[in-house]
Structure 1
Amino acid sequence: MQILVCIKQVPDMESKFKVNADGTWYEGTDLAWRMNEYDEYAVEQAVQLKEQVGAADVTVLSIGPERVKEALKKALAMGADRAVQLIDDFAYQKDPFQIASVIAAFAREKKFDLIFTGMQSQDRGSGQVGVLIAEMLSIPSITTIVDFSFSEGQIVAKRELEGGIKSIVKTKVPALVTCQLGLNTPRYPTLPNIMKAKRKELLSISISELLKVEGKQETAKMYFPEKKGGGLVLEGDVGDLADQLIKILDEKIGVLAR
């Protein structure tokens, strides 16, 4: 069984962000980097499936500059068999359609049985890449899964929907699933597994070999929201609150209580 896991390296969300000089993305220097949280669930589920079926091979893939190798090495230490870096120092300028196109181009000839991705990335948060990959490969996808099982070539997954509703979805492989918080608890790489990961294959490929499409979207501007004044808390009985509110609105816009 051939399994692919797509991961992204993102800044730690506790980092202090600055908008870059172009005003289109955040400045990458002086940030702490980590594997995207949702992708950790994807790696863990792939490794669990490998342990379940035995005869399985897990490839983990990431697009980005040299630093993404650290996230790939963590995935190898978690139990993936090999890693692939698609080299791109300007991955942040690629829209979800381009990113998905590159991954689909890599995966198409490999004929993976199952592809795991995170539900979304913590920095861009588009939630589009996984389903776009599936569409480009003409395979079914199941999104935002919080439970996963596999037997005799069939996936049974539980999806989390809005309003606390959950649904059960079944499909045959090949397929793609996107992973949500609550699916599992990602394992912590042990020292022996970290040492083993150093001997595993980590292949680097230029993204130019796979990128054949133009972008569909372009980031025009990125900026921090303007700071707003503090709110006003009203206290008292309902009748008094109504009178206070009318008085405030009258002072602000001068059209009420006339």
Structure 2
Amino acid sequence: MKILVCIKQVPDMESKFKVAAEGTWYDNQDLAWRMNEYDEYAVEQAVRLKEQVGDADLTVLSIGSDKVKETMKKALAMGCDRGAHIADDAAWNKEPFQVAGIIAEYARDKGFDVIFTGMQSQDRGSGQVGVLVAEMLELPSVSTIVDFGYEAGTIIAKRELEGGIKAKVKVQAPAVVTCQLGLNTPRYPTLPNIMKAKKKELLSIPVAELLKVNARMETANMFFPEKKGGGLVLEGEAGELADRLISILKDKTTVLK
């Protein structure tokens, strides 16, 4: 069995963000970086599938500058066998259709049985890449999975719907699945596995060799939401409060007109 898991390096969400000078993305200076949280669940599930099957080969893929290799090493230490680094210093400027196109072009002739991705990235949050990869490769996909099983070439998954409802889905491999938070408990890499990860294959491929599709969407501008004014706290008896509230609403309605 051949398995692919796709990860993204993102800033720690506790970082202090500011908009970059060009006004279309955040400034990436002085930020702490980590593996996208959704992708941690994807890596863990891919490693579990590899352990279940036994005779499996697991590749981790990431697009970005040389900096993303540090995050890829964590995936290697968690249990991935090799890394495919798509070298692209302008990865931040690629929209989801392009990102999916790069992944699909890499995977097209390699015969992967299961491709795992996170449901979405924490910085862009489009939720599109995994399902677009499946579409480009003409494979079935199951999105937002919260439970995963594999039996004799069949994926049995549960996916989360609105309102906390879960739907059970069966699909024949090869297929693409996108992973939701809570799917599993990602493991912490042990020191021996961290040391072993340093010796695992981590090849870099120029993005120009894989970028075959043009952008269909452009970010025009990025900005922080405007700060809203504080709330108004009313105190007093119920009847008095009701009269004051009605008066306030009438005043605001007049202003809006």
Q: 1:83-121 CA deviation, whole Å, 9 max, x = no partner?
A: 011011111111100000010000001110000000000
- TM-score w.r.t. length of structure 2: 0.97
Q: 1:115-168 CA deviation, whole Å, 9 max, x = no partner?
A: 000000000000000000000000000000010010100000011111011110
Displacement of 1:250 in angstroms is 3.0
Secondary structure at 2:144 match in 1 = strand
Q: How do residues 23-172 of structure 1 correspond to structure 2 at under 5 angstroms?
A: 23-172=23-172
Q: Return the letter of the residue paired with 1:26.
A: Y
- Residue in 1 that maps onto 2:231: 231
Displacement of 1:227 in angstroms is 1.1
Counterpart Cα distance in 1 of 2:114 and 2:76: 18
Displacement of 1:213 in angstroms is 1.4
Displacement of 1:246 in angstroms is 1.4
Counterpart Cα distance in 1 of 2:32 and 2:255: 52
Secondary structure at 2:108 match in 1 = helix
Counterpart Cα distance in 2 of 1:234 and 1:128: 45
Shift of the 137–251 alpha-carbon distance from structure 1 to 2, 3 Å rule, reads same
Shift of the 251–61 alpha-carbon distance from structure 1 to 2, 3 Å rule, reads same
Displacement of 1:236 in angstroms is 5.1
Secondary structure at 1:109 match in 2 = coil
Shift of the 245–84 alpha-carbon distance from structure 1 to 2, 3 Å rule, reads same
- Residue in 1 that maps onto 2:182: 182
Shift of the 153–96 alpha-carbon distance from structure 1 to 2, 3 Å rule, reads same
Q: Return the letter of the residue paired with 1:111.
A: G
Q: How do residues 194-233 of structure 1 correspond to structure 2 at under 5 angstroms?
A: 194-233=194-233
Secondary structure at 1:44 match in 2 = helix
Q: Return the letter of the residue paired with 1:15.
A: S
- Residue in 2 that maps onto 1:9: 9
* Structure 2 unaligned blocks of 5 or more: none
Displacement of 1:79 in angstroms is 0.2
RMSD: 1.4
* Structure 1 unaligned blocks of 5 or more: none
Shift of the 247–195 alpha-carbon distance from structure 1 to 2, 3 Å rule, reads same
Counterpart Cα distance in 1 of 2:240 and 2:113: 66
Q: 1:171-220 CA deviation, whole Å, 9 max, x = no partner?
A: 01000100001100000000000000011000000000010111000000
Secondary structure at 1:205 match in 2 = strand
Counterpart Cα distance in 1 of 2:112 and 2:53: 15
Counterpart Cα distance in 2 of 1:13 and 1:7: 16
Shift of the 230–140 alpha-carbon distance from structure 1 to 2, 3 Å rule, reads same
Counterpart Cα distance in 2 of 1:143 and 1:225: 30
Q: Return the letter of the residue paired with 1:208.
A: A
